[in-house]
Structure 1
Amino acid sequence: MDKVRIGIVGIGNMGTGHAKYLIEGQVKGAELAAVSDVRPERLQQAREEWGDRVKTFASAEEMFGSGEVDGVLLCTPHYEHPQQAIAAFAAGLHVLVEKPAGVYTRQVREMNDAAAASGKVYGIMYNQRSNPIYSKLRELIASGELGEVRRTNWIITNWYRSQAYYNSGGWRATWAGEGGGVLINQDPHQLDLWQWTTGLMPTRIRAFCQFGKHRDIEVENDVTAYVEYENGATGVFVTSTYECPGTNRYEISGDRGKIVIEDDKITFWRLRELESEFNANNEEAFKQPEVWKFDVPVASGGAQHLEITQDWTNAILKGTPLLAPGEDGIKGLTLSNAMLLSTWTDAWVDLPIDEDLFYEKLQERIEQAAKAKKAE
């Protein structure tokens, strides 16, 4: 194979965005061969815009079995990602799935198992992994430059969404339509980066989610979570969609200082020696380690979605390792599922989570919301 024929499932906003750079030939070794959508008007628009060069199909399954594509990019609603990926693997196709991987980890685990059995290249659209700022942070932590991680703290409240936004689609901010709120819609990238940059997954989580705070919606739009790690480190994750202006500040404290990402730059407060070594040798009551503050240089670039698609294409054609393997999608989803489950049970949640209990609680929320709508 010298070129990957890509099919896009779902040509809404995200699917159309991916289609544009593929049509323009910006991904080397790939071409947009086909699209599918359940909405006839979207397929008609595709035919009018792209003509015969792109095949159109009324269902994903029809496209999977057509022989027209080698791999598919899934840009459909959250709940549909796992079932469509499993069907694509069964048809012998490579898969690149938009975030989030799914709504609940039990479903995503089945997708991961199908991917492993298929032997096909399986990626997820975690495009923020291509952001040089976060790749630099990961490098600094992995190299030991920060020392052992002691605390993580991410405040990400600049997701302002008005009531008009939520009213723009009946599926928005519903348990049945999206499967959640800010955690599954706005925060999948941050939840992924939180564990990817540090290399740490929590051992347990205690979270407090508020549902429909200052908005007429069913799902969570205000979250404060506290986590504990195996090495003794702790972390806090705070997010919302109603604060204006919001904040995006990611802070990691380690044995050799503190790194902060804010306003698109990395600032490092670096200790001249490890705090643990200073503490072991110091005999002066109020003395502190010497600190150097500086901005960390970060390379330009980071093509975001296009770069992840190029990376996936390279893996198919050349066997290169993926920047964002599809299997990683379950990690960030585990964090969001755990935060909701902790709130619903009003208790600590150990990781790995009780997947059956989460699914049961999710179904209860869907049923409650349906009853409430009928009663209106």
Structure 2
Amino acid sequence: MSQVKIGILGIGNMGKGHTKYLMNGEVKGGVLSAICDIDRTKLEWVKENYGDKIQLFDSVESFFASKAFDVVLIATPHYDHPTLAIEAFQHGYHVLVEKPAGVYTKQVREMNEAAAKSDKLFGIMYNQRTNPLYQKLKDLISSGELGEIKRTNWIITNWYRSQSYYDSGGWRATWAGEGGGVLINQDPHQLDLWQWTTGLMPKRVRAFCQFGKWRNIEVEDDVTAYVEYENGATGVFITTTGEAPGTNRYEVSGDRGKITIENGKMTFHRLRVPESQFNREFKGGFGQPECWVSDIPVGTSEGSQHLGITQNFVNAILKGDKLLAPGEEGIKGLTISNAIHLSTWTDNWVNLPIDEDLYYSKLQEQIKNSTAQKDVKQINMDVAGTH
């Protein structure tokens, strides 16, 4: 195989973005050969911009039956990701799915099982994994440079969204339309990076979600979550769409110091000796380890982003490269998100792995009362990927 043919399922904002860089020839060895969307006005956009260069389909059935591509890039609404991925595997396609992996872990686990039964590659569009800042942090932690982790803190409140944003679509910020708020729509990347960079998943979560606190919406727009890890470390995740100016600060403390990422820079407060060693040996009463403050060089680039994930996926097919964002890992960040919701709904601690059946039943209660329930069947693929 000299090139990989890609079919995009869903032409919303993200689908259009993928179309543009593929049609510009920016993915070496990758070619866009087909597009499917049930909204024919979106297909007209493709025709107007690219003529007859791409095969167009207005039904999923004809799209999958065409065999006009090797890879399905799924950029549809959240709830459809696992269902369409499973169908794609059954038709013998490789699958690259947009984030989030799905809305609830039970359906994502079924998607992962379908991937495991196939002989096809499975990836997820976690484009922030291409960012040199988070790649460097992961390297410093996994190499032992920071020592054993003691605490993680991520304040990600620069997701400001006005009421007019939410009013732009009846499906927005509804349980039936999106399956959640800031956690499922804006924060999947941070929830993924939180566990990916540290290599840690929480063992239990206690969280407090505010639903429609700052905007007239039914889902969460303000979240504070506290987590505990197996090694005794703790973490805090704070996020909202109703705060301006916002903050994006990620801090990881370990036995050998502290690393912070903020404003596109990484700072390492490195201890000359590990804190645990200093504590054992120091006899002077008041005192603390000597600390060196260093700006870690990572360059100015934010990484290759969506293009980079797609290129990596194509290279995995053509050259056997290791996937930067395996699709099976999408369940990890979603598990944390689901645990945060479930902790709030039950007003209690939630242990991981979560009770998937309990989460599903609680979610169905929210969907039943959702303002978008009557219109949910009319939600088309064109809304996908609009954050």
After TM superposition, the score normalised by the length of structure 1 is 0.98
Residue matched to 1:369: 370
- Aligned-pair identity (%): 68
C-alpha contact (below 8 Å) 2:174/2:372 kept by paired residues: no
Q: C-alpha separation between the residues in 1 aligned to 2:153 and 2:89?
A: 38
Residue matched to 2:241: 241
1:360 aligns with 2:361: yes
Q: C-alpha separation between the residues in 2 aligned to 1:171 and 1:312?
A: 31
| Higher mean C-alpha displacement, 59-68 vs 77-86 | 59-68
> Residue type matched to 1:337 in 2?
N
Residue matched to 1:127: 127
Q: C-alpha separation between the residues in 1 aligned to 2:45 and 2:141?
A: 47
Deviation at 1:48, TM superposition (A): 2.1
Deviation at 1:5, TM superposition (A): 0.5
C-alpha contact (below 8 Å) 1:2/1:317 kept by paired residues: yes
Deviation at 1:54, TM superposition (A): 0.3
Q: Which runs of 5+ in 2 are unaligned?
A: 376-387
Write out per-residue CA displacement over residues 271-329 of structure 1, whole angstroms, 9 at most, x where no aligned residue: 00100011111101101100000100114541100000000001111121100000000
1:170 aligns with 2:170: yes
| Higher mean C-alpha displacement, 252-261 vs 292-301 | 292-301
> Residue type matched to 2:274 in 1?
L
Q: Which has the higher contact order (CA 8 A, sep 6+)?
A: 2
Q: 1:199 to 1:354 in 2, by over 3 A?
A: same
C-alpha contact (below 8 Å) 2:256/2:273 kept by paired residues: yes
Q: C-alpha separation between the residues in 2 aligned to 1:323 and 1:370?
A: 38
Residue matched to 2:196: 196
Residue matched to 1:112: 112
Deviation at 1:340, TM superposition (A): 0.2
Deviation at 1:367, TM superposition (A): 1.0
Residue matched to 2:102: 102
C-alpha contact (below 8 Å) 2:171/2:372 kept by paired residues: no
How many residues align? The count is 374
Residue matched to 1:325: 326
> Residue type matched to 1:77 in 2?
P
> Residue type matched to 1:208 in 2?
F
C-alpha RMSD of matched pairs (Å): 1.3
Where do 4+ consecutive residues of structure 1 move more than 4 Å? 370-374
> Residue type matched to 1:336 in 2?
S
Deviation at 1:369, TM superposition (A): 2.4
Q: C-alpha separation between the residues in 1 aligned to 2:276 and 2:230?
A: 18
Q: C-alpha separation between the residues in 2 aligned to 1:159 and 1:253?
A: 25
Deviation at 1:372, TM superposition (A): 9.9
Query: SS of the residue aligned with 2:369?
Result: helix
Q: C-alpha separation between the residues in 2 aligned to 1:93 and 1:66?
A: 11
Residue matched to 2:381: none
Q: Which runs of 5+ in 1 are unaligned?
A: none
Q: C-alpha separation between the residues in 2 aligned to 1:367 and 1:72?
A: 32
1:25 aligns with 2:7: no
Q: C-alpha separation between the residues in 1 aligned to 2:8 and 2:252?
A: 38
C-alpha contact (below 8 Å) 1:163/1:215 kept by paired residues: yes
Q: C-alpha separation between the residues in 1 aligned to 2:127 and 2:262?
A: 18
C-alpha contact (below 8 Å) 1:269/1:294 kept by paired residues: yes
C-alpha contact (below 8 Å) 1:202/1:228 kept by paired residues: yes
C-alpha contact (below 8 Å) 1:23/1:32 kept by paired residues: yes
1:281 aligns with 2:281: yes
Q: C-alpha separation between the residues in 2 aligned to 1:79 and 1:353?
A: 19
Q: C-alpha separation between the residues in 1 aligned to 2:133 and 2:266?
A: 7
Residue matched to 2:80: 80
Q: C-alpha separation between the residues in 2 aligned to 1:104 and 1:295?
A: 39
C-alpha contact (below 8 Å) 1:123/1:324 kept by paired residues: yes
Q: C-alpha separation between the residues in 2 aligned to 1:171 and 1:142?
A: 41
C-alpha contact (below 8 Å) 2:174/2:371 kept by paired residues: no
Q: 1:68 to 1:372 in 2, by over 3 A?
A: closer
Q: C-alpha separation between the residues in 2 aligned to 1:369 and 1:5?
A: 39
C-alpha contact (below 8 Å) 1:94/1:120 kept by paired residues: yes
C-alpha contact (below 8 Å) 1:211/1:220 kept by paired residues: yes
After TM superposition, the score normalised by the length of structure 2 is 0.95
> Residue type matched to 2:196 in 1?
W
